[in-house]
Structure 1
Amino acid sequence: MSNSGEEPLLDRHATTDERRRRPRRTKSRRKVLGVVLGVVALLVVAVAAWVGVRGYQAKGELEAAIPLVTQLKTQVTSGDSAGAIDSMNRLTQHAQSAADLTSDPVWRATELLPWVGSNLTVMRELSSTVNDVSRYGVQPLTGLAGSIGLSDFKPVDGRVDLQPLLDAQGVLADSSAAVGDAVARVDALDGDGVIQPLADARLQLLDKLTEASGELTTLSKAAVLLPAMLGADGPRNYLLLFQNNAELRSTGGIPGALALVNTDAGSIKLSQQTSGSSFRQFPEPVIELPLDTKSLYGDNTAEFMQDVNFTPNFALSGQIAREMWNRKFGLQVDGVISLDPVALSYLLKATGPIALPSGDQLTSENAVKLLLQDVYAKYEQPPEQDAFFASAAAAVFDKVASGNVNPAALVSALGQAGEENRVLVWSASDEDQQVLAGTTLAGGLPKSSETEQRFGVYFNDSTTAKMDPYLQVNIEAGQAVCRNDGLPLNSVRVTLTNTAPADAATSLPDYVTGGGEFGIPPGNIRTNIAAYGAEGLYNLGLTRDGAAFPYQPSTELGYGVSKVEIELAPGDSTVLDFQFLGDAPQTKAVSVQHTPFVYALETKALEVDCQNALQ
């Protein structure tokens, strides 16, 4: 039977008083609920205010801390120990305060909230990272202020005091590791979905930490490598190759002047000099060349001293040069070091002008032109040219070894030359090679990363002359997605121009133009260009002035290579586009490692045209 429209059966037994009390209970419940909601609202406001105020304060602490890092670096390198300690104390206070402000239980609990939580997590991690860097990465360095500085990197009376460098090894290694860990920590932070100012702050901190990590890694490796190379554990011998960029090779230029340097317990002595041309062709390769290298560059690479750096793999060039020196002079050197006239010009900024036995004055402004162009007009015979090069190299070496240099300018000069791949080092010691690995000094092929696609473009003169100061090179690189599968097209554009005067055949010496030998008209420049793609990429070939052009496809050390020979008359220009297909649907920044020229060259961004793609 339906009870529709009637009171519930249970209510029939309720008293009148009970029925009257029910609305009051409902009102009471509503009142309690209102109070609870009010309290929750107050708590939300309080938490928001707490987190907001502390976040604002933490931001201020971080902004106060960052400039102190740069100030501290200057104080440490200049030996201002008192200033470094004061800056370090202030940095530590600001960093610790920022970490404390963003790590209390209220802050951590609020991180669990949607949207706002990710912002708070990033803020806490950034503050904590800065605090860790200040304590474990920067603070230990203050102990080096006054005990090691830029002056410790320069010789005094032909000797470098190795003890400060040895004492600094542990501190530099620990600091380098701490900052390296911080880079990985910030890089791993998920910046998606956070507010823009915080995302920008993360990227700015990452850039700062990456820069600092690179500098510390370099210093740490230098503190390990320099004592070893300077004979801390016993005498060593090094072969110096002075590369002549007037006749290009992959790592710079032909080895023109050569020298033997002896080191022992920090002392440095130039004991022997000769020229690359004094080495006659060996009847067969002095070492067994890798098949890929032999295919690309031929047996000449291991038969002529002036061709040992046909390959951009300097570790291989060093081994070849070492064996050639051994066969000629009966000495197995402990390593091979190369530099070029441009690097010498940088060093001259630290030494000041140097008077040469010839009566010339060598300066940072005239060194490149004097050593790579004027010398051929002044001295017609190769032996005279070799003697001039040898005297210039010896004069610069003696000035640096004497310690009569500006230490800050010396370190800056070596740093700039290293960044431009103008100073290369190979060591017969496996331990030294491990320290060199990954640095610009090692002269290895370009290494790509998850975010950067790196290519190599290397030049070898085949004019057999000294025309390359007139070869103007421009390099551009870019990437675009031109296929449905999303694989990116990488393009490296090389523009070559022969800037020699129209009358080069008569106005330039035969030694510079080649005098028509090998069927090359005087004034023309003939060059081999090898473009190295990153490992795993597919080599699509190249175009010349917009049209497909024949080339030699090959490989070296697992890198796909496109090699081509170009000859240009005075005033001629041509454009080569080397193209490589990516191995994954991912876009990256593109960069190019290249042969050092007589001038500085920066790779420019290229807007890739898919319609001209070789796919």
Structure 2
Amino acid sequence: MPSTELASVFGSGGADTEGTVRRLNAMQHSLEDLAVSSRQIAAEIDAIAPSWFGPVADAHAELHSKASRAAEMLGNADIAARLVPDMVGISGGRSYFLAIQTPSEARATGGLLGAFAIVDARNGRVSTPTLGQNAELENPRVRQVNLGSEFNDLYTWTHAYTDNRNNNISPSFPDAARIWIANWKHQTGQLLDGAIAIDPIALSYVLDVTGPVTLPDGEKITADNVVPITLSTSYERFAGDNAERKAYLQTIAKATVEQISNTTASTGALLEALGHGVSDRRIMIYSTRPEEQELLESTDLGHQLPDSMASLADVTIGNVAGNKIDYYLKREISYAADACTGETRGSTVTVKLTNTLTDLSLPKYVIGSMGAPSADLPLGTNFANVQFTLTKGANVLDLTVNGGPEFYWEGSLQGHPVAVTQVRIPAGKSVEVKLRLNEPTSAHGDVQVPIQPLVDTPTVNVDVPTCGDEK
């Protein structure tokens, strides 16, 4: 999202949230017209045949780039104008479940639900009357929402409905959001309007704009140290006192939320920071209102599985050992497919997982196996659940680990075939998981390889010809 340009819509000075939202609401119809016009202009420029004459070709390329960027910017502004005012309470109060994820303990949407807040939005202003640790969330005895037979068959073993440690076991964020909303209603009686998820890495982008926060004891939490403190060093600092560590992290969360809520930083800079978090898939939003959810799913905020026949390789990691060792996990993902001949083609999805841990003196809470004691893991072993969510209509042929056959199981999720295995990665070692499949060549649309938002920035290689008719 070219968010700095959007500052001209929102105002480039200090953040006046209510005034910003009301200006945006007033401009809704104008932005919609501009978005339609800009898309038409970009399409017309795209349809112009390229010239062989260098200067003309260069001018056409530059014009095409500017028109496409303008169309994207105005399209984002149009969506924001239709979503933001109502979602921040201009037409009536809203309340949301805010999940702060911990990607050092991987879950499909990013990380373990470490802390949470209830966010109230009234007249464009946001407050957090409730902020708590995951231990304050009650696990219901029975499920409070039913996500369907595919979800149930795939995840029953994880107790996804009734154990908040696994509420976000599915790579589709709306699944986690619906569970959080239903469980909160069961716990408190409050019916929420949606759910939001964010992680410390996205918060670091925002702190880079708002400036550091100061804790009651004078310690400063900055854009540079918030990630290592919240995801790594706090576990060493409070190695013998888990309750004290959680209290410390909650103090950081509270101070950070207050800093963001009361900031006077430039709106344009804040939008740029938030846009960075969205493009990294570290910020996701769900609305209980179908018309809003449909718009959210047209953006990177939706974080849902695609409802399309496009070629898909969505590789997600889940921490099985119940530790924080994914701070040291590095990923390499590749997706390759044969040519578009015949009704199906062979494809391969490969993920190389490297455990970069070298210090085996770290607390067992970080590198032990408290969540899987029966696995008898050597200290420092990363015990990972690896899920492949694939192109609709694909058939899995086999799965290997380091070149040899490995046990895996299959299922489906929202019409997409799924294959799952579990691997153990010793400290300082790598494991390569390779999945071979047949995919229908009738698949159409852009190839999709969503990246799970963990601590690392994975290397991704895609060599997949586009098949089928564009639709």
Name the TM-score, length of structure 2 as normaliser. Answer: 0.88
Q: 2:248 aligns with which of 368, 383, 388?
A: 388
Q: 1:423 aligns with which of 279, 283, 299?
A: 283
Equivalent AA in structure 1 for residue 263 of structure 2:
G
Matched, 1:173 2:16: no
- 1:601 pairs with 2:453: no
- The Cα of 1:429 is off from its aligned counterpart by 1.5
- Residue in 2 that maps onto 1:236: 94
Unmatched tracts of structure 2, length 5 or more: 466-471
Deviation at 1:424, TM superposition (A): 0.7
Q: Distance in 1 between matches of 2:222 and 2:107?
A: 25
* 1:202-601 aligned within 5 A: 207-298=65-156, 300-379=159-238, 380-446=240-306, 453-481=311-339, 485=342, 487-501=344-358, 504=360, 507-515=361-369, 517-519=373-375, 520-584=377-441, 590-601=447-458
How far apart, CA to CA, are the structure 2 residues paired with 1:160 and 1:465? 45
Report the more deviating stretch, 250-259 or 354-363.
354-363
Q: CA deviation at 1:206?
A: 5.0
- Report the number of matched residues: 458
Instruction: State the 1:605 CA deviation.
Output: 4.1
Q: Give SS of 2:27's match.
A: helix
Matches within 5 A, 1:97-246: 148-151=10-13, 154-155=15-16, 159=18, 161-185=20-44, 189=47, 195=52, 207-246=65-104
- CA drift of 1:171 comes to 1.5
SS of 1:338 mapped into structure 2: strand
Report if aligned partners of 2:7, 2:268 keep a CA contact under 8 Å in 1: no
Is the CA contact 1:155–1:401 (under 8 Å) kept in the aligned structure 2?
Answer: no
Instruction: Report the residue type matching 2:365 in the other structure.
Output: Y
CA contact (8 A) 1:345 1:365 kept: yes
Give me the CA root mean square deviation.
2.9
CA contact (8 A) 1:244 1:254 kept: yes
Is the CA contact (8 Å cut-off) linking 2:6 and 2:73 kept in structure 1?
A: no
CA distance in 2, matches of 1:587, 1:162: 38
Structure 1 residues 287 and 588, CA gap change in structure 2 (3 angstroms):
closer
Deviations 1:334-388 (A, max 9, x none): 1111100100111111111111235431111111100001111122333222222
Higher helix proportion (structure 1 or 2): 1
List alignment gaps of at least 5 residues for structure 1.
1-69, 80-143, 609-615
Identical positions, percent: 26
Task: Describe the SS at the equivalent of 1:550.
Answer: coil
CA distance in 2, matches of 1:462, 1:315: 22
Aligned counterparts of 1:581 and 1:208: Cα–Cα separation in 2: 39
The whole-number CA distance in structure 2 between the counterparts of 1:218 and 1:207 is: 17
With over 3 angstroms needed to count, the CA separation of the structure-2 counterparts of 1:588 and 1:574, relative to structure 1, is farther
The answer to whether the 8 A contact 2:328-2:356 is kept is yes
Shift of the 421–288 alpha-carbon distance from structure 1 to 2, 3 Å rule, reads same
Give me the whole-angstrom Cα distance separating, in 1, the residues matched to 2:68 and 2:27.
21
Q: Secondary structure at the match of 2:78?
A: helix
| CA gap 1:586/1:426 in 2 versus in 1, 3 angstroms | closer
Look up the SS of the partner of 1:535 in the other structure.
Answer: coil
State the AA in 2 paired with 1:467: I
On the 8 A contact 1:454/1:592 being kept in 2, the answer is: yes
1:528 Cα offset (Å): 0.9
SS at match of 1:464: coil
Partner SS, residue 225 of structure 1: helix
CA distance in 2, matches of 1:177, 1:204: 21
- Does the CA contact (< 8 Å) of 1:289 and 1:302 recur in 2? no
Cα offset for 1:199? Answer: 7.6
* Aligned-partner residue type, residue 296 of structure 1: L
- Letter of the 2:342 counterpart: D
Q: Distance in 1 between matches of 2:445 and 2:349?
A: 14
| Deviation per residue, 1:75-122 (Å, 9 max, x gap) | x7565xxxxxxxxxxxxxxxxxxxxxxxxxxxxxxxxxxxxxxxxxxx
